[in-house]
Amino acid sequence: MFRFLIQGVACAVAVCASTWAAQPMTGDLFVHDPSTILKLGSNYFLFNTGMGIATKSSSNRVHWTRGSPVFNAPPAWTTNTVPSFRGHFWAPDVIQLNGQYYLYYSVSTFGKQVSAIGLATSPTLDPAAPNYHWTDHGAVIQSTNGSPFNAIDPALFRDRDGKIWMAFGSFWRGIYLVELDSRTGKRVAPDSPFRRVAYHRDIEAAALHQREDRYYLFVNWGLCCRGTNSTYEVRVGRSKTITGPYLDRDGHDLVNGGGTLFLKTEGADFGPGHIAVLNDDGREFISCHVYDATLRGRSQLRLRALQWSEDGWPAAVQ
C-alpha cells in the first residue's frame, strides 16, 4: 500500500532475514509497491504505485526503463466510488489469463477504508504492439466504513487446478482471500466467501506462492512510506490448502499473529516490502521495494534469488 512516497547471505538456507546488499541494477528503479513481474518474449514488465498506474520494463532484469501510465485519466467509477481519489493508484498486480493480461489495482486514500480494487485488461504488455490497449472493467470488490476488510493490495494466484485466487487487505482485520472467475476476472459469484488468512495490527501487501504441495503466504508487518523510518518487514507462513490455515515455522496461525521473519531492514536498504515471485526459466526470484538510505530513503526496486531449505522454507539470497 502507498501512503506518502518519501524521498547476503543465504542464512544457511534457513528462514531468517537475508542480507539486502545492493543489487547491481541500473536505470529508473524508482518503484513503490511493485507488481508481479511478467515476461513477454525477451522483455520484463511490472506495474507500480503512481498516477495512472506507473509502469517499468527491462530486457535483462537489470536495466529498467519507465513507461507511460496505464490510464491518462482515472476511470469515472473510481472517483464516484472513492470521492477523494485523484488518480494516484496503489499496489497493482497482474496475471495472464485467456490470452489477455488482467491488471488489478487499488483505489483508496490514506488511512481510509472507503476503497476498491479495480480491473483492466490488455491483449499485450508491449506498448509498441499495435494491439496494446487497456480496457477498464470497473470494481472487483469494494469496502466502506465498517466493512470487515480494506479493499486494497490485490495479489493474484493461479492454482494448479486452474482456479484463480486473490489475496488482499490492509490493517482492518487483516488479509483476506477470495476466488475469482477465470474468465471474467471478477468474483466467482456475488456471494462467494471472503476467507481471512492472516492478521496483525499493522499488516498488508500479501503475496501467494506454491511450491510442491504447499502454499506460501507472504505479508508485510509494520509501516511503509516513511523513508528510512519505515518499519516494514516481510513474514511468511505455509499451508497444505490455498484457503489455509497458514502456519509459521513454529506452528502459529497467521490469523492469530503468527509469521516467520523472511526479510527485514539490512544495511542501507530499509523496510523491504510488497514482494512477488518471478519464475524465469526455472529460476525463482523475489521482487520488492526498499527505502534506500544512500538516496535519502527513496523507494527503489530490488530483485533477489529465492532458495529453499530442506524442510521447505524460503530464503532470499544474492
Q: Which domains occur in the chain, in start order? A: 11-317 (2.115.10.20)
- Catalytic annotation on 204? yes
Place of cell 471478477: 186
Among 204, 253, 269, 292, the one annotated catalytic: 204
Is residue 35 within a helix (H) or strand (E), and if so which, with residue range?
none
Catalytic residue among 33, 153, 253, 269: 33
Question: Does the annotation mark 33 as catalytic?
Answer: yes
Q: How many residues comprise the chain?
A: 318
**Cβ–Cβ under 8 Å, residues 55 and 40:** no
Contact predicate 116/153, CB 8 Å: no
Of 227, 252, 224, nearest in space to 238 by CA: 252
Per-residue tens of pLDDT for the chain, all 318 residues: 544 343 333 333 333 334 444 448 999 999 999 999 999 999 999 999 999 999 999 999 999 999 999 999 999 999 999 999 999 999 999 999 999 999 999 999 988 999 999 999 999 999 999 999 999 999 999 999 999 999 999 999 999 999 999 999 999 889 999 999 999 999 999 999 999 999 999 999 999 999 999 999 999 999 999 999 999 999 999 999 999 999 999 999 999 999 999 999 999 999 999 999 999 988 999 999 999 999 999 999 999 999 999 999 999 886
d(C-alpha 103, C-alpha 163), whole Å:
17
pTM: predicted TM-score of the whole model, two decimal places? 0.92
